[in-house]
Structure 1
Amino acid sequence: MEQNKRNKIKILFLVLLLIKSLGYTEWEKITDGIEYQKFTLSDPNDVYVVRISRNEPSVLLDVGVGGGTIRDIREPVSKIVSRYQNIVNYSGQQYNIVAAVNGDFFSYDTDQVVGGQVILGTYADKMGSRGKFAFKNLSSVFIDKTVSFSGKVTFADGSQTNINDINVPRGNNQLILYTFHYDYSTFTTADGCEVVVGYVNEPLSPNKEVSGVVREIRSGIGSALIPFDGFVLSASSSAATLLEQKCKVGDVIKVKLSITSSAGKDWTDVYSAVEGNQWFVSNGQLTSDLWEERHPRTAVAYNDNYIYLIVCDGRRSTSIGMKLSELGNFCIQYLQAKEALNLDGGGSSTMWVNGSVKNVPSDGTERSVANALFVAKTATDKSLRFNHTDVVKTITGANLKLGPGTQFGNITQLNKNTICVVSSSPLNGVFAKGDYWWKIEYNNTEGWINQSVLSDTIAPAVPQLLYPQNNSQMVDRNPVFRWTSVEDPDGVYYTLVVSSNTDFTSKIVYELSLTTNYYVPAEHGDFKVNTTYYWYVTSRDKGENESGQSEIFSFVIISSGDVTKPGQVVSLEAT
């Protein structure tokens, strides 16, 4: 019996040694359902893996672009993460990004991705013919290859026309659809027509018809601002003439951006997608014609239980990089992956986890890339401070934004005490980028503004005076003044005024910003014996909405003797 026990211990020890020799370590928990591990292989290679459980309900995968714009900016993965951290999607879910890798290949000439992408549920960049990873939710992901694009606009009269492309510079006689992912503006010339569509309370998801309301028609102007909850149709030449003929302010129009897969994959309700290149593992097997040069690598893979983000270092003696067949074998043998897609590698390969870059990029520092694939925990937080149609005002100068968050472009600058009205939006009160956000209308312009610079226009209630009571006589030269507290959603400040005359021209106490409903004067203050004093209180909120003045009370100091109990009253009855 004892010998069998010793043999089992030896076998366990050998298994642990084997596991260690194969590069296994413990999975490190990042947050619920998301783990990280570094594998040190004998090639030698260092491989970094984030493992995402497909049973965690509050996790989303999404794509972020450099500078927050598709148009022409690259950034390191860590900066892309910072830009998208704490943003909110159309469902009101705030992102807490915990891990990310670099995404698609890009052009050094344009700083744009080579392929397409779906971001925040919107088909934001037309897909190409290379391999692409699509995420609907944790229970529905797939890899696809060749797809085709089609876009349609349905006007208020029921007629239709084609959309030529999405979020690209407008060409001659083209109709282009722009979303906020492109930039804050269309950056078009003035020789066309642009129709700004608003009240779009859902993403322009692939294969789904989405409605909106025409808010503005801009002919011969160009560079329309692009709202978060809307889009811009931009056309030139005869396509512009068609827009001018078919659209008027207030019209309800519909758009549909379709992705058709040659393999029959269903792109409906895809929430995010990133394009890569070679689909190197399929059905748990290596595919053919793989790139067999040795480089740093980035990939996304999955099986029935997990989704994996993978980075392999390369171009250094302690980690030489992998051929795609080697990366495929790693995915199959170590991760039991059934499918895997190669993303941009080389100096672009970067893995960010919980605030730091885990791998050693071969450029010696993070390379600026066009996009990143990230994993985020989500939560929803909303304020109920205001309601639709509430009249509000700014308490400081403030920027009216194109969307709910500091990352959006400015529409206009509002001065202090600007009066606005809360507009209708399902995202009103949503928490993003450190504040709650409200959609408001000002001077026929709608935009978003943060709650911390808003107040209602309703004054707080008038405080009721409590002590010293009216017409009372006191022996305390340092009376404690008390009044009823007042409630206001924006908080309350009190003004206390005490004077020796009824017109209050001679102020003994003048406190403008008390936050408590009492006031204690300095010991042996300016109150004199045999003198009548008068006092009142007002209240105001942070928006400087001020209540009316309370009634005026009076009291008399009748003795200057030492008093050990502040506020002692000789008579509480009116004289």
Structure 2
Amino acid sequence: MFIRSRCLRLAVCILAIAALACASCALQATKQLADGVTLYQETNLTPGSELIVNCVTVDPKVEGVAIKAALCKDVIYTEDALKGCETIASLTGRRGAVVGINADFFPLGTDAQGDPLGVCIIDGELVSEPSPRHAVMAMLKDGTFVFDNPTWSGNLTLASGFGRQIDGINRFRETNELIVYTSIFDSSTRSKYKGTEVVCKTDDLPVQCGKTMNLTVAEVRTDAVNTPIPDDGVVLSAGGPAAVFLSENLKPGDKLTVKFEIKSAGNVDWTQVQQAVGGRPWVLKDGKEYVDLEYERIGSSFSTTRHPRSALG
């Protein structure tokens, strides 16, 4: 999130290494970056344990301060060497942000490096579905911030009432999945495997949690791999049994609905979420250590191996 940040970027706290130096060995500095935005820096000079901790505090109640999630290059996939990646310096500079921070992880070394692995919501639009059990930070419409470990569901329903589960949104489709694409993914589906791809028009964009989208079929393409995604619609891309379902049940002019829902592990109303980014693991809750690597299905390297780290709170 960024401030005025990659859903990959929400500026609150940047940790170079998750540890604090003792006061006698540390240098401290404070700088106001803008109204409501302050940088605190602590540097440990102890030989063998050098580190720098950067912490940015943001007061969202200050006039002119805005906290937003953002995608690198504003789309998930790009046809270039970086495959959707962008540095924080580039993104914040391009968007006019004061400060930015890494948020969710992405599939490094693949063609989908701009795809957040967990949930991403930008200005109320569902861009990426949650990753099961992984922690999420979200900002509600009233400006409050919440943490959650949500789950999700997606459903496609035909005019007959018959329906099918949706497997994801705006990510590369595997062979037997049904994925919904909007233009924030790219100009086309970039499918790795042939399947049935259905172009639909709708007046109900953007995709939002809990909102039923009414679709009208414009085109049904079989053995398709790279269907253009319309700005005023979506593409349903399916392989295996899901492809057969689409090709046998849909034709141009047919009506259907699509609905995505996110269910909180606590009491978060996800229909009220305006910005959200994923990450892992959950570190603190109510001021106490709250790390459950087994529940979040996270390897030990996240807790025992030394890495530069970013955190939000």
> For 1:41 and 1:206, how far apart are their aligned partners in 2?
42
Give 1:281's match in structure 2, choosing from 268, 281, 284. 284
Q: How many residues align?
A: 267
Q: Partner residue of 2:28? A: 23
Correspondence 1:161 to 2:164: yes
TM-score (norm 1): 0.41
For residues 241 and 44 of structure 2, the distance between their equivalents in structure 1, rounded to whole angstroms, comes to 63
| 1:156-200 deviation line (CA, Å, top 9, x unaligned) | 333322112223333334321112232221122684321112234
**Structure 2 residue corresponding to 1:76, chosen from 87, 102, 105:** 87
Cross-structure match for 1:425: none
**Among residues 280, 284, 300, which one is paired with 2:312 in the alignment?**
300
User: What whole-Å deviation, never above 9, does each CA across 1:549-575 have from its counterpart, x for those lacking one?
Assistant: xxxxxxxxxxxxxxxxxxxxxxxxxxx
Match of 1:102 in 2: 102
3-state DSSP of counterpart to 1:255: strand
Cα deviation, 1:497-538, whole Å, max 9, x if unaligned, reads xxxxxxxxxxxxxxxxxxxxxxxxxxxxxxxxxxxxxxxxxx
- Residue 57 and residue 157 in structure 1: after superposition, are their counterparts in 2 closer, same or farther (change >3 A)? farther
Q: Is the 8 A contact 1:120 1:203 kept in 2?
A: no
Change beyond 3 A, Cα 1:171–1:280: closer
1:178 to 2:185 alignment: no
Q: Distance in 2 between matches of 1:99 and 1:228?
A: 30
* Residues in 2 aligned to 1:223 and 1:299: alpha-carbon distance in whole angstroms: 37
Listed as ranges, the matches of 1:417-428 within 5 Å are none
**Counterparts of residues 33-44 of structure 1 (less than 5 Å):** 34-41=36-43
What residue in structure 2 maps to residue 62 of structure 1? 69
Q: Which runs of 4+ in 1 moved over 6 A?
A: none
Residues 55 and 252 of structure 1: CA distance in aligned 2, closer, same or farther (over 3 Å): farther
Q: Deviations over 1:179-226 (max 9, x none)?
A: 223222112268432111223443212232222333332233431111
1:198 aligns with 2:210: no
Quick one: structure 1 residues 81 and 288, their matched pair in 2 at CA, closer, same or farther if it must change by over 3 Å? closer
**Corresponding residue of 2:122:** 119
Alignment of 1:139-154 (within 5 A): 139-145=143-149, 147-154=150-157
Alpha-carbon shift at residue 154 of structure 1 (Å): 1.9
Q: Is 1:48 paired with 2:69?
A: no
Q: Check the 8 A contact 2:182/2:229 in 1, yes or no.
A: yes
Match of 1:261 among 253, 260, 264: 264
Structure 1 residue identity aligned to 2:235: V
The corresponding residue for 2:296 is none
Percent identical among aligned pairs is 29
Cα 1:130/1:163, change in 2 over 3 Å: same
1:179–1:231 CA contact under 8 A, matched in 2: yes
Residues 62, 271 of structure 1: 8 Å contact kept? no
Q: 1:189 to 1:25 in 2, by over 3 A?
A: closer
State the SS of the aligned residue for 2:39. Answer: strand
Distance in 1 separating the partners of 2:284 and 2:192: 46
Q: Matches of 2:125 and 2:163 in 1, distance apart?
A: 21
Is contact 1:63-1:272 (8 Å) kept? no
CA distance in 1 between counterparts of 2:93 and 2:60 reads 25
For 2:291 and 2:128, the matched residues in 1 are separated by 28
Match of 2:140 among 136, 139, 151: 136
Q: Is 2:236 the partner of 1:224?
A: no
Letter in 2 for 1:136: L
Q: Partners of 2:240 and 2:304 in 1: how far apart? A: 48
CA distance in 2, matches of 1:257, 1:60: 24
Q: Which has the larger radius of gyration?
A: 1
Matched residues in 2 for 1:42 and 1:253: separation?
A: 60
One-letter amino acid matched to 2:147: I
Conserved 8 A contact 2:282-2:291: no
Letter in 1 for 2:32: W
The 2-side partners of 1:292 and 1:221 are apart by: 45
Partner Cα distance (1:28, 1:164) in 2:
42
Partners of 1:61 and 1:164 in 2: CA distance: 26
Q: Which amino acid aligns with 2:146?
A: F
Structure 1 Cα separation of the partners of residues 120 and 59 of structure 2: 23
Q: Which amino acid aligns with 1:47?
A: V
Query: Unpaired runs of 5+ in structure 2?
Result: 1-22, 293-301
Normalising by structure 2, report the TM-score: 0.71
Q: Is the 8 A contact 2:141 2:272 kept in 1?
A: no
